[in-house]
Amino acid sequence: MLEDAGFAVIEACDVASAPDVLKDKSGICLIFTDMNMLAKLDGADLVRFLQRHYQNTRVILMSGNIKKSCSAEMPFLK
C-alpha cells in the first residue's frame, strides 16, 4: 500500500535487526512498528533506540493490545 503510494519501504524482521537495517540507510523520516512483538525487544525498545540515535525520525506505534505500563511512557491515540 505504501509502495503503491510512492513511498520506499524498508523492512526489519524484528527490533534487534532494526539497527543493522537503519545504519545503511539515510533519509528515513518515518517508521511504523508494532508495540507488542513476540521477541524479547518490543516497539518501545525500538523507540528508545531511535530517540538516542535517530532523533529526527518520527515513529508511529501500532497495537491491538497495549499494556498500561507502556501507555504512560509514550503517547497513544485510542
Measured CA to CA, the distance from residue 63 to residue 73 in angstroms comes to 15
CA distances from 45 to 9, 26, 29, 35 (A): 21, 21, 18, 9
Q: How many CB atoms lie within 10 A of CB 70?
A: 17
- Residues 51, 27: Cα–Cα separation, whole Å: 16
Grade residue 73 by pLDDT with cuts at 50, 70 and 90: low
Q: pLDDT of 57-72, one tens digit each?
A: 888 888 777 665 455 5
**pLDDT tier at 4, thresholds 50, 70, 90:** very high
The pLDDT of residue 68 is 53
**What tens digit of pLDDT does each residue of 7-59 get?**
888 888 888 888 888 887 778 888 888 887 777 888 888 888 888 988 888 88
